[in-house]
Amino acid sequence: MMLSGLLYWLSPARRRFMRRLAKPGLDATRARLAEAGSPRAVQFISTIIDANADFLAYALSPKGPLSMYCDRATPDSVAKCIATMLIYSVNLFARDEMQNNESEMIPLLAHIAGVTLMQVMLRRDALRKAPRSEEWMVLTWLAKDLGADAPKYDAELERSFGYNYLSYIAQYRPTLEREMAAADAAST
């Protein structure tokens, strides 16, 4: 599994995706982050943005769980997907912070994602109250970001997307914890 992940990470298809489709959205997202985020937030969110872009490259590949949408990927739609995944993944890693309506994270995410405060809070609340899994909710948002209708519920697709995403993003938890511990130590 580790070797196949490394081979995909080095693959020409992934590099093409990142260069052609993800780079414009990543550049714009990073620029908005740099203008509004504290050094600690920039470090934390940059890692999450990179992780989500890499996962999206895999998810939209022929073997990925979103392969049925690969023809719909454009720089604009991928930028929307990156924003959607950012809100979701920050919610995963900083759930307590996201539950607080007065949190600085909500306006920061709104600025970075190019949406309103209300849209961030509505997405956060929808994730908490999702009739299916949070991953299914995100998958339907990604389909819409890619210009497709939300798919009809499919337990196998939900399982595949959820397993792949959560397995992938879990690899970044130790990195995020180290980065935040180092940032906390530097600020004291």
118-165, pLDDT tens digit by residue? 999 999 999 888 778 899 999 999 999 999 999 999 999 999 999 999
Q: Which of 51, 22, 45, 47 is nearest to 165 (CA)?
A: 51
The confidence band for 40, taking pLDDT boundaries of 50, 70 and 90, is: confident
Report which of residues 15 and 80 the model is more confident about: 80
Would you list the DSSP string of 48-83?
Answer: HHHHHHHHHHHHTSTTSTTGGGGGG--HHHHHHHHH
What pLDDT does residue 49 have?
A: 93
**Residue 75 to residues 27, 71, 80, 131, Cα–Cα distance (Å):** 11, 12, 9, 31
Q: Counting beta carbons within 10 angstroms of the beta carbon of residue 109, is it exposed (0 to 12), middle (13 to 18) or buried (19 or more)? A: buried
Residue 7 predicted with pLDDT over 90: no
Q: Does residue 121 contact residue 106 with C-beta atoms inside 8 Å?
A: yes
Which residue do the tokens 């940032």 mark?
Answer: 183
Q: What is the pLDDT of residues 82-118, one digit of tens each?
A: 999 999 999 888 888 888 888 888 999 999 999 999 9
Task: Give the integer Cα–Cα distance in Å for 184 and 2.
Answer: 31
